[in-house]
A and B are shown apart, each in its own frame.
Chain A
Amino acid sequence: MTTEAVLVIDDFLLRALLGGIGVALVAGPFGAFVVWRRLAYFGDTLAHSALLGVALGFLLHINLTLGVIIVCQLLALLLFFSQRQRQLASDTMLGIFSHGALSLGLVTLAFMPDVRIDLMAYLFGDILAIGNSDLLWIYLGGGGALAGLLWLWQPLLAITIHEDLARVEGVPVTRINGLFLALIALTVAVMMKVVGLLLVTSLLIIPAATARRFARNPEMMALLACLFGCAAVGGGLYGSFQWDTPTGPSIVVAACTFFALSFLVPIKR
């Protein structure tokens, strides 16, 4: 192998690592809330709308990540208002939106014969194809989402503990919940590139669930979730190179391995 080839490989590996770590850092604190508030299915629903965002991006000739962000935000808004109806249970509602959005995305793309996309890359992620603009999206979009979450941190925790109690004590619950949904939609959209729309939720919940056993307070759980997320990205990338396996799923397998191994660590109570 020539020196140049080695450099090229190093370059895209480095970008993959940077992108993956960026996503893991954002996913940690958000994942903690997803676990505490049982929003896993909710995250899935947002992620499944990504293909529709890609189609929108092609239609409007705008950046595809921006298209995904727009559609995720619209869906979050729709979900926010649909939560107020009491006709259908929320998991039924989410199921309809989730599979509806995914199928609508696939059908819409089929109507656009000029558009050839690598479907697998969207479904399972293509971290090795991360470019500089993707990195920018991850760090600016993800950083923005994280800053927003830090700003809402205390009231969000209060709502997570008991919504009515928070309301009585003066927390603007509806506004905070709405903002939180917008932030999580942004997070899911920027995470898409790394693990793909089918696996996004896993990178939210598995590191956070792994962190639970070792955390004594909410902040510690969020930070540990970041740490386990980064470890999963590192392990997944390494494994993917070592055994030539698909990278997105390898990261998730690494995350699951850490989760399983965490039970071997004794915890004194």
Chain B
Amino acid sequence: MRVALELVRPSSGTLYRRPQLTIGYMPQRLQLDPTFPLSVKRFLCFARKGCDTATLRTALKETGAEHVIDAAMQHLSGGELQRVLLSRALLRQPDLLVLDEPVQGVDVHGQVELYHLISNIRDERNCGVLMVSHDLHLVMAATDRVLCLNRHICCSGTPAVVTSDPEYLKMYGHLALYQHDRNHHHDHGGCSCD
């Protein structure tokens, strides 16, 4: 993923990125020094030049975190912080949303909500979603294409293909996995890697 974001050079192979591709990136964690006074509003302002409060409010509303707009970043709960990070990524009007373990530090109930939110965002905005996740249930249930990584690409394809791949079974075969019926609205763009 860091290669896709052009944060590190690929050690082999080449990276092709569509010119003018706008990426909205949601990092795995944000560790702000407690001495750094920063409000949510100000934090969101860095996403793009010239943004007014109304735009910020809309972005927060989309992720259901409108109430924290004036709060200090350090006072947010795990779930609120993830929503604010997601709002910042959305403010960039991304073609591709890159999410690194987006539900880290969020309770189980909040995790379900967040995943639901991400899937809604994809359907509404029609943007691609590249997501790193260790959550096998989610990966198999809500994604179009899975890349299974363990130092190398073990296997890739639709969840159905991946779960029957011998390499995958060798690694995760002992986990009885619920295979989701994919005959509903998740059917364009986006892929996920584990």
**Which residues of A, 211-269, contact B by the 8 Å Cβ criterion?**
212, 215-218, 220-221
Binds A, one of B32-40, B112-120, B142-150, B152-160: B32-40
Q: Please tell me if the beta carbons of A161 and B30 are within 8 angstroms of each other in the complex.
A: yes
**Which residues of A, 177-230, contact B by the 8 Å Cβ criterion?**
208-209, 212, 215-218, 220-221
Residue among B25, B32, B33, B39 making CB contact with A169, cutoff 8 Å: B25
A93 at the interface (CB under 8 A from B): no
A165 at the interface (CB under 8 A from B): yes
Task: Name B36's closest neighbour in chain A (CB-CB).
Answer: A36
Residue among A154, A169, A218 making CB contact with B47, cutoff 8 Å: A169
Give how many A-B residue pairs fall within 8 Å (CB-CB): 60
Residue among B25, B32, B39 making CB contact with A217, cutoff 8 Å: B39
Distance in angstroms from A238 CB to nearest chain B CB is 29
**Which residues of B, 152-176, contact A by the 8 Å Cβ criterion?**
none
Binary per-residue interface labels of chain B (88-106) against chain A in the complex, 1 for a CB within 8 Å, 0 otherwise: 1000100000100000000
Interface residues on B, range: 20 to 34
Q: Please tell me if the beta carbons of B37 and A215 are within 8 angstroms of each other in the complex.
A: yes
**Which residues of A, 69-95, contact B by the 8 Å Cβ criterion?**
none
> Secondary structure at chain B's binding surface: helix, strand, loop or mixed?
loop
Q: How many of A's residues come within 8 Å of B, CB to CB? A: 25
Q: A168-B23, A169-B47, A169-B92 are in contact. Are A161 and B37 (CB under 8 A)?
A: no
Q: Please tell me if the beta carbons of B36 and A160 are within 8 angstroms of each other in the complex.
A: yes
Q: A158-B46, A168-B7 are in contact. Are A212 and B35 (CB under 8 A)?
A: yes
**A37: chain B residues within 8 A (beta carbon):** 33
Task: Name A157's closest neighbour in chain B (CB-CB).
Answer: B46
B61 at the interface (CB under 8 A from A): no
A162 at the interface (CB under 8 A from B): yes
Please, how many angstroms separate the alpha-carbon atoms of A158 and B46 in the complex?
7
Q: Please tell me if the beta carbons of B46 and A168 are within 8 angstroms of each other in the complex.
A: no
Binary per-residue interface labels of chain A (146-159) against chain B in the complex, 1 for a CB within 8 Å, 0 otherwise: 00000000100110
Q: Please tell me if the beta carbons of A161 and B35 are within 8 angstroms of each other in the complex.
A: no
Q: Please tell me if the beta carbons of A220 and B37 are within 8 angstroms of each other in the complex.
A: yes
Distance in angstroms from B31 CB to nearest chain A CB is 8
Q: Please tell me if the beta carbons of B23 and A35 are within 8 angstroms of each other in the complex.
A: no
B122 at the interface (CB under 8 A from A): no
B interface residues (Cβ-Cβ under 8 A, vs A): 2, 5-7, 23, 25, 27, 30, 32-33, 35-39, 42-43, 46-47, 88, 92, 98
**A-B contact list, 7 entries, CB within 8 Å:** A161-B36, A161-B38, A162-B30, A167-B5, A168-B7, A169-B46, A218-B36
Task: List 8 A-B pairs, minimum CB-CB distance, nearest first.
Answer: A168-B25, A215-B37, A36-B36, A158-B46, A35-B35, A212-B35, A36-B33, A168-B5
List 16 extra interface pairs beyond A161-B38, A165-B25, CB under 8 A: A36-B35, A37-B33, A157-B46, A158-B46, A160-B33, A161-B30, A161-B32, A167-B6, A168-B5, A168-B6, A169-B46, A208-B35, A209-B35, A215-B37, A218-B36, A218-B38
